[in-house]
């Protein structure tokens, strides 16, 4: 018995392969002068963006709901989806269609999320969008707050009986649009409803929050030989939180992150 994909066109099989790699995102699939969306993504995007929902393959057993937006206006549509809490994967043609032998090669070149989307042309002047990464043990909380518009990475650690209240206060201060936590974690449940309502929560592989991985990612980002100069050698939870954020950025932005060079430590008693 054949696979359900066997009856699809080569183009839709290519789409489905890429979609399986980005199941939690709306996949915008470049076709000529448009970015097309198919199946459930098309239904969701057409409602969110108030655009026409059509179908490919009408009159066949493999009707595919679809909608599309012009490539030259895609940034505005991505911004609207991200502001509504969606994650958007942009898939581009990676070879000249005129030189392609068969199906044009395509790959996802960027994933826009509520905490990583930064396009000055689509944002109010002076607006800052923060991505937050959280981890914790039985005694302490580690947090990292990243602002892609400035390249600032602010990390902190909280301990004591009021650590979760202080974490909530910090969330109110930074106002992150997206919060990252280790897979399987119950950390979001420890945050007040007001924070959860404003931010999308996404999970990151637990290994990205390990001390070894996080240290390697931070050193690779800064080019430094150690974290001593940043005052983080004893801030293990803060470093681990930063590791989760950097891994997530590498997976979504797929570009050089060297502009993220300013690392600072935030103490709850400070005033920013």
**Displacement of CA 119 from its chain's centroid (Å):** 14
For 263, the enclosing helix (H) or strand (E) is: strand 262-265
DSSP-based helix, strand, coil % in the chain, nearest 5: 35, 25, 35
pLDDT at 48: 97
* Segment 182-204, tens digit of pLDDT: 999 989 888 888 888 888 999 99
* Boundaries of every domain in the chain: 4-112, 130-265
Q: Which residue has the tokens 């505005």?
A: 76
* Segment 27-58, tens digit of pLDDT: 999 998 999 999 999 999 999 999 999 998 77
* 233 backbone dihedrals φ, ψ, rounded to 5°: -60, -30
Q: Which residue has the tokens 């044009």?
A: 104
Establish whether domains 4-112 and 130-265 are of one fold.
no
CATH fold of 4-112 reads: MutS, DNA mismatch repair protein, domain I (3.40.1170)
Enumerate residue ranges in the chain where pLDDT < 70: 1-8, 120-126, 255-259, 261, 268-272
Q: Can you spell out the DSSP letters for 18-85?
A: HHHTTTTSEEEEEETTEEEEEHHHHHHHHHHHT---EEESTTSTT-EEEEEEEGGGHHHHHHHHHHTT
The strand order across the sheet containing 262-265 reads 200-204, 178-182, 130-136, 140-147, 152-159, 262-265
CA distance 108 to 21: 9
pLDDT at 152: 87
CATH fold of 130-265 reads: Nucleotidyltransferase; domain 5 (3.30.420)
pLDDT at 106: 93
Name the pTM for this structure. 0.82
pLDDT at 8: 65
pLDDT at 57: 77
């Amino acid at each position: 018995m054949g696979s359900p994909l066997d009856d699809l066109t080569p183009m839709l099989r290519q789409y489905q392969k890429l979609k399986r790699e980005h199941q939690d995102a709306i996949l915008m699939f470049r076709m000529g002068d448009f970015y097309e969306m198919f199946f459930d993504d098309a239904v969701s995007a057409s409602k969110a963006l108030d655009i026409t929902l059509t179908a490919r393959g009408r009159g066949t057993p493999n009707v595919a709901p679809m909608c599309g937006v012009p490539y030259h206006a895609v940034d505005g549509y991505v911004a609207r989806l991200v502001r509504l809490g969606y994650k958007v994967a942009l898939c581009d043609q990676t070879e000249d269609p005129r030189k392609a032998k068969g199906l044009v090669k395509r790959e996802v070149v960027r994933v826009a999320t509520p905490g990583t989307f930064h396009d000055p042309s689509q944002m109010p002047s002076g607006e800052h969008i923060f991505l937050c990464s959280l981890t914790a043990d039985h005694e302490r909380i580690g947090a990292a707050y990243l602002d892609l518009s400035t390249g600032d990475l602010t990390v902190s650690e909280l301990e004591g009986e009021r650590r979760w209240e202080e974490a909530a206060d910090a969330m109110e201060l930074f106002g992150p649009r997206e919060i990252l936590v280790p897979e399987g974690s119950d950390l979001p449940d420890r945050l007040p409803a007001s924070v959860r309502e404003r931010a999308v929560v996404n999970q990151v592989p637990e290994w990205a929050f390990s001390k070894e991985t996080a240290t390697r990612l931070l050193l690779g980002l800064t080019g430094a030989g150690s974290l001593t100069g940043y005052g983080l050698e004893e801030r293990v939870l803060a470093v681990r939180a930063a590791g989760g954020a950097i891994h997530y950025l590498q997976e979504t932005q797929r570009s050089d992150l060297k502009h993220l060079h300013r690392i600072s430590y935030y103490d709850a008693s400070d005033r920013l």
